[in-house]
């Protein structure tokens, strides 16, 4: 399980170091793709297969299903860490997530998210993001 929040900088080549606590669980190869809220989603091979099955289970006759598949797969890369624990993020993914220099890497249970630091701070400043409001809106969650 991926948990926690870590701040890292991108180097001049667009590489980011992933937290050491995440590296072993990621395995030798993993996947990065465009995520929701303009961040990047990072999946282990096992989780990628689960997402692939879900997306392939969608009805292609629906425009939204085709759109989700295109966004998910077109921006995806299969990567591995270098000896320093870094991964190269292509310019297209950096642009999508508005990644400049400072980034935040967070664990979200079965996936990792990579955020631009400013975007992450703005996201967290949203008044609608607190347990009371969110649990009221998500009636099926009981803490």
Alpha helices in the chain (DSSP H): 20-26, 45-56, 63-74, 91-96, 117-124, 131-137
Tell me if 143 is assigned to some domain.
no
**CB–CB of 34/99 below 8 Å?**
no
Q: 124 forms bridges with which residues in the sheet?
A: none
Tell me if 17 is assigned to some domain.
yes
Q: What is the pLDDT of residue 12?
A: 97
The SS3 of residue 67 is: helix
- From first to last of its 143 residues, the chain has per-residue pLDDT tens of 999 999 999 999 999 999 999 999 999 999 999 999 999 999 999 999 999 999 999 998 999 999 999 999 999 999 999 999 999 999 999 999 999 999 999 999 999 999 999 999 999 988 777 767 777 777 665 54
Range of the domain at 30: 2-137
**Which is it for the CA torsion 69, 43, 126, 14, positive or negative?**
negative
Q: What is the pLDDT of residue 109?
A: 97
Measured CA to CA, the distance from residue 20 to residue 115 in angstroms comes to: 17
Neighbour-count burial for 33-68, b at 16+ CB within 10 Å, e otherwise: bbbeeebbbbbbeebbeebbeeeeeeeeeeeeeeee
| Closest of 94, 68, 90, 91 to residue 78, by C-alpha | 90
Tell me if 128 is assigned to some domain.
yes
Q: What is the pLDDT of residue 139?
A: 67
Tell me if 142 is assigned to some domain.
no
Q: What is the pLDDT of residue 86?
A: 97
Question: Model's pTM, two decimal places?
Answer: 0.92
Q: What is the pLDDT of residue 141?
A: 57
**CB–CB of 101/119 below 8 Å?**
no
- The total of structural domains in the chain comes to 1
- Supply the CATH number for residue 99's domain: 3.40.1550.20
């Amino acid at each position: 399980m991926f948990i926690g929040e870590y701040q890292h900088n991108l180097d001049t080549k667009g590489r980011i170091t992933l937290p050491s606590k995440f590296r072993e669980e990621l395995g030798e190869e993993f996947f990065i793709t465009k995520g929701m809220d303009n961040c990047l989603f990072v999946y282990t091979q096992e989780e990628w297969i689960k997402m692939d099955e879900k997306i392939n289970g969608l009805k292609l006759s629906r425009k939204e299903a085709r759109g989700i598949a295109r966004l998910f797969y077109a921006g995806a890369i299969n990567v591995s860490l270098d000896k320093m624990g870094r991964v190269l993020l292509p310019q297209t993914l950096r642009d999508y997530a508005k990644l400049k220099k400072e980034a935040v890497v967070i664990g979200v249970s079965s996936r990792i998210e990579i955020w631009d630091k400013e975007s992450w701070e703005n996201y967290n400043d949203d008044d609608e993001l607190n347990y009371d409001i969110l649990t009221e809106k998500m009636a099926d969650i009981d803490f």
